[in-house]
Structure 1
Amino acid sequence: MNSPVVTVFGATGFLGRVVARELADDGWKVRIAARNPDVLIPGLAMDRSVRLPTDIRDERSVAAALEGASAAVNAVSLYKQQPGLRFRDIHVDGAARVARCAREAGVDRLVHVSGIGASSQSSSAYVRARGQGEVSVQEVFEQATIVRPSVLFGPGGGILDSLQTVSRLPLVPMLVAATPACNRCSLTMWRRRSAHYCDGPNRRGRYTNWAGRICLPTGSSLPKCYAAAGGGACWCLYRSRCGG
């Protein structure tokens, strides 16, 4: 019996590789669709995956990655704009392209990874692009599942990895907000749920806001995360509010 095929866009990223491993362990044949698909994904059996060079800005490569797939997960993200690469390219146009090609390829299930608090009306360019991307996906793939994770942490990436980069400094200033509270979700939680989003019932066309169980005011939790990453002294500058 042939295993069902799932295409994971951004499968070599911090979140994508966890999703790819879990789906493979759950019996899926995983297509690693990424710009650099040959990046090592620890724990992923070679016989459970196929690697395809894919850029979600390119229609042909996206269509090829989806051909014959039963499900797809879009875990591609861009956190910092660069010359020639804007938030809209990935989170809006790229997301819409994946959804449209998935529909045309007859893909049964599409999971689109967005971000908690995504809003097309946000003053933040990143958050606004995330919100606009959700709209563009559902316009062409109405039954897509939209997943909105909070700040992610885990081995090899996420917020702790960023803090480890600066933990060598003796004193680190941080401009943080005393409010609102911010949840964090671990990759372990993602690993447990990713396969369910692809084949579980009653998930079609739904939004899932997914935050962790720990909820701390941002101003107090960032120093704690910094300490957990092995940092020394941390000097925090507080703001009373945090814009969305």
Structure 2
Amino acid sequence: MLSVFSGKAAAKASMAAGRKAAILTQQKRNIYRFPLKSDVNITKTGKTKIAIGQGGRSSRTGYTVSVFGGSGFLGRIITSKLAKHGTLVVAPWRNSRSMRHLKVNGDLGVVNYHEWDLRNVQSIEESVAHADVVINLVGSELNTKNFSMADANIEGSRRIAEAAKKYGVDRFIQVSSYNANPKSESEFFATKGVGEQVVKDIYPDATIVRPAPMYGRNSALLHELVPLTKLGGNVLFRQEIYPTHGRQVAEALEKIVFDDSTLGKTYELYGPERYSKRELREMIKYMTHIGMYGYFPAATGFSIPAPRSFMKVWCWLNEKFNPSMESVNMDTYRRSTIDQVIDPSALTYEDLGMKADDLADWLYSYVKPYIISPSQSLNRTVYGRDEVLKLRDYVNTPKNSFDFFDLKS
């Protein structure tokens, strides 16, 4: 009888141990979703941050991050990454309709809105007053009736940095641009370069991030390359770049936010392969089956080549009479002549323990939504990496044709 009871006691003890092990396993933090390696973290100014939870919903990192420009392509992704594991996010906004979709990225109270205006210093200060980290994604590639590129890229950076400094924000992350250089011929690249210097004057230990042109769903790069109606693409798409994955840039920013070893450093985030915009547009043309049966026949005629002199005048007219529209302007023309240059002194993805994605692995998945169903009746090609590389070789193969008007610029 005694052996029976002892056997039952052993079974109960074994079950209890199993339950305890299961609980401990469930409580184990998922390091792929939670950016912090410790429950207790000390900021550079001595503030103590306590992390709570397993790394998903209902978790908290203890940090508060203000993301200026959260409604943009990169801003939406980084806000999602921060909010999903409980980092409190302050999302300053000018247009409430462009920000409302950010709320669902975190639990109730995680994503918080605050109305701001570049000309209202008090609204900027209120947006950073309780932050531990400020990420500045604000920038403009054109001069509008309200703000010039200098206003957005230089004065905007200055005012946000000054407000953050006034309220003792620990970290400031300035997201700049590839080719940022105060001496650049392009107004956009020059103002981005000056913006970096302005931030460094206020925050000597600010982290500078220069992403290459980013690809992803709803990215500006794809919106530029995919449309059929393009006048003078042979001129405007001359630039050569190292496209980078937008999701990876956001992941890198997330690492930088919680890693104080990145203080005062400059990162250039770019892909492993160099592409010209011209070849990318040609590749996308074949992927979307432009000019094939099942598509409306006039489509191929909408992409009209033009001489450089004509495009220069066209860009000038656009800037003169339509300055606030997101169309080609003189700075667009200047940037088309400036290839991406890598700064050898800047850090890269590898310094963050990451490996850059190759565009060939992702291009088709992002282009596919632009393919309409009738165009697939004769061509159902699924472009994997090998097919994309073959297509790249094909579009770069020299074609025999006359060029009386200098259209192959």
TM-score range, shorter chain: 0.7 to 0.9
Q: Pick from 281, 290, 311: which aligns with 1:222?
A: 281
Please name the residue that 2:191 is paired with. Answer: 129
Does structure 1 residue 71 correspond to structure 2 residue 130?
Answer: no
Question: Alpha-carbon deviation of 1:80?
Answer: 1.6
Structure 1 residue matching 2:262: 3-state secondary structure: coil
* CA distance in 2: counterparts of 1:178 and 1:8, whole angstroms: 32
Structure 2 residue matching 1:214: 3-state secondary structure: coil
Identity %: 22
* CA distance in 1: counterparts of 2:287 and 2:93, whole angstroms: 31
Structure 2 residue matching 1:7: 3-state secondary structure: strand
Query: Which amino acid letter does the alignment assign opposite residue 206 of structure 2?
Result: A
Partners of 1:70 and 1:108 within 8 A in 2: yes
Q: Pick from 151, 165, 174: which aligns with 2:233?
A: 174
* CA distance in 1: counterparts of 2:89 and 2:288, whole angstroms: 32
Structure 1 residue matching 2:153: 3-state secondary structure: helix
Structure 1 residue matching 2:247: 3-state secondary structure: helix
Please name the residue that 2:116 is paired with. Answer: 54
Question: Alpha-carbon deviation of 1:237?
Answer: 6.3
Distance change (3 Å), C-alpha of 1:224 and 1:189: same
**Deviation per residue, 1:123-165 (Å, 9 max, x gap):** 111111100100000000111101001111211232112334x
Please name the residue that 1:40 is paired with. Answer: 100
* CA distance in 1: counterparts of 2:192 and 2:289, whole angstroms: 32
Please name the residue that 2:6 is paired with. Answer: none
Question: Alpha-carbon deviation of 1:177?
Answer: 7.0
Does structure 1 residue 100 correspond to structure 2 residue 195?
Answer: no
Q: Which stretches in structure 1 are left out of the alignment for 5+ residues?
A: none
TM-score scaled by length of structure 1: 0.87
Q: Which stretches in structure 2 are left out of the alignment for 5+ residues?
A: 1-49, 51-59, 292-299, 309-335, 340-409
Question: Alpha-carbon deviation of 1:178?
Answer: 8.2
Structure 2 residue matching 1:197: 3-state secondary structure: helix
**Deviation per residue, 1:153-193 (Å, 9 max, x gap):** 211232112334x33x4x75403478663111122212322
Distance change (3 Å), C-alpha of 1:69 and 1:124: same
Distance change (3 Å), C-alpha of 1:178 and 1:32: closer
Partners of 2:225 and 2:281 within 8 A in 1: no
Trace 1:127-206 onto structure 2 (pairs within 5 A): 127-164=189-226, 166-167=227-228, 169=229, 173-176=232-235, 181-206=240-265
TM-score scaled by length of structure 2: 0.54
Question: Alpha-carbon deviation of 1:225?
Answer: 4.4
Structure with greater proportional strand content:
1
Question: Alpha-carbon deviation of 1:40?
Answer: 3.0
Does structure 1 residue 242 correspond to structure 2 residue 302?
Answer: no
**Deviation per residue, 1:109-130 (Å, 9 max, x gap):** 1111100110000111111110
Structure 2 residue matching 1:15: 3-state secondary structure: helix
The structure with more radius of gyration: 2
Trace 1:76-87 onto structure 2 (pairs within 5 A): 76-87=138-149
Question: Alpha-carbon deviation of 1:195?
Answer: 1.1
Does structure 1 residue 19 correspond to structure 2 residue 114?
Answer: no
Partners of 2:78 and 2:251 within 8 A in 1: no
Distance change (3 Å), C-alpha of 1:31 and 1:227: farther
Please name the residue that 2:151 is paired with. Answer: 89
**Deviation per residue, 1:47-86 (Å, 9 max, x gap):** 2210111223321111000011100100112122112310
Structure with greater proportional helix content:
2
Partners of 1:183 and 1:214 within 8 A in 2: yes
- Comparing 176-185 with 113-122, greater Cα deviation is found at 176-185
**Deviation per residue, 1:11-57 (Å, 9 max, x gap):** 11111111111111243100111212452336512522101112233
Partners of 2:225 and 2:277 within 8 A in 1: no
- Comparing 211-220 with 193-202, greater Cα deviation is found at 211-220
- Comparing 142-151 with 220-229, greater Cα deviation is found at 220-229
Partners of 1:160 and 1:226 within 8 A in 2: no
Question: Alpha-carbon deviation of 1:218?
Answer: 3.6
Query: Which amino acid letter does the alignment assign opposite residue 337 of structure 2?
Result: C
